[in-house]
Amino acid sequence: MSRLVVRAFSISIDGFGAGPDQSLDNPLGVGGPEIFSWFFHTRTFQKMYGDGEGETGTDNDFAVRSFENIGAWIMGRNMFGPVRGPWPDESWRGWWGEEPPYHTPVFVLTHHARAPLKMQGGTEFRFITDGIESALAQAKKAAGEKDVRLGGGVSTIRQYLSASLIDELHVAMSPVVFGRGENLFAGLDLRALGYEYASHTPTSRTVAHLIIRKR
């Protein structure tokens, strides 16, 4: 049965999934890349974006697992790109070049309609204007028996958490303090929403991989 999962979502030790002052030059906010330092050195990242060999080990194991059994993705419009309001044109095609790393249908939450965008490697961005539940229903249909991965950003994950629609959440907590930005859990009563701690795995990079599941 298809599940909605969050995989390898990085947060600071004080709970922020993006730093302050997000912009085109700083899509993750000022200092945002610091919380992804655990991922950048992995073999998975280097195969996707880098030119080095990359490291194996626990962090890479979690990175590999984050792409397994995924049949569709959901993301918020802010994760797709910096354009706000009505689409002025269709020139913006995402942050990832002509072959994004998704290789599945990707359902982008937005208030403004846009035609589907087919990319190389099997990724097709489909723009959903009628809410999170509609996006989830369409993503599960596209995924079949595989899982749907919720990519972010923070606001999108919070919406699905608030509706108790996420089945499992993997966050990678890095030893970084932001103080400001977008906080993943602030104001959410996860216990009342039906969530519980499942496991944590510390690594040599001092990141802690935390698993939270719906009861």
42 by Cβ neighbours in 10 Å (0-12 / 13-18 / 19+) ranks as: buried
Does the global pTM surpass 0.85? yes
Nearest partner of 69 among 156, 1, 121, 154, judged by Cα: 1
What pLDDT, in 10s, does the model give residues 137-190?
A: 999 999 999 999 999 899 999 999 999 999 999 999 999 999 999 999 999 999
Phi, psi of 105, rounded to the nearest 5 degrees:
-65, 140
Is residue 61 assigned to a domain? no
Instruction: Decide if 43 is inside a domain.
Output: no
Judge whether 58 lies within some domain: no
Q: Which CATH number do you get for residue 176? A: 3.40.430.10
Whether 181 maps to a domain, the answer reads yes
Q: Is the pLDDT of residue 26 over 90?
A: no
**Full residue range of the structural domain in which residue 107 is found:** 4-20+68-83+94-214
pLDDT band at 204 (very low <50, low <70, confident <90, very high): confident
Name the domain count of the chain: 1
Query: What's the pLDDT band for 24 if we cut at 50, 70, 90?
Result: confident
In this structure, is residue 192 part of a structural domain? Answer: yes
Radius of gyration of the chain (CA): 17
**Residue 88 belongs to a domain:** no
In a domain, 55, yes or no: no
**Tens digit of each residue's pLDDT (9 = 90 or more) over 88-142:** 999 999 989 999 999 999 999 999 999 999 999 999 999 999 999 999 999 999 9
Going by C-alpha positions, the residue among 96, 36, 87, 44 that lies closest to residue 65 is 44
**Is the residue at 158 inside a domain?**
yes
Give how far Cα 46 sits from Cα of 22, 42, 51, 71, 180, Å: 25, 6, 6, 23, 30
| Helix (H/G/I), strand (E/B), else coil: 206 | coil
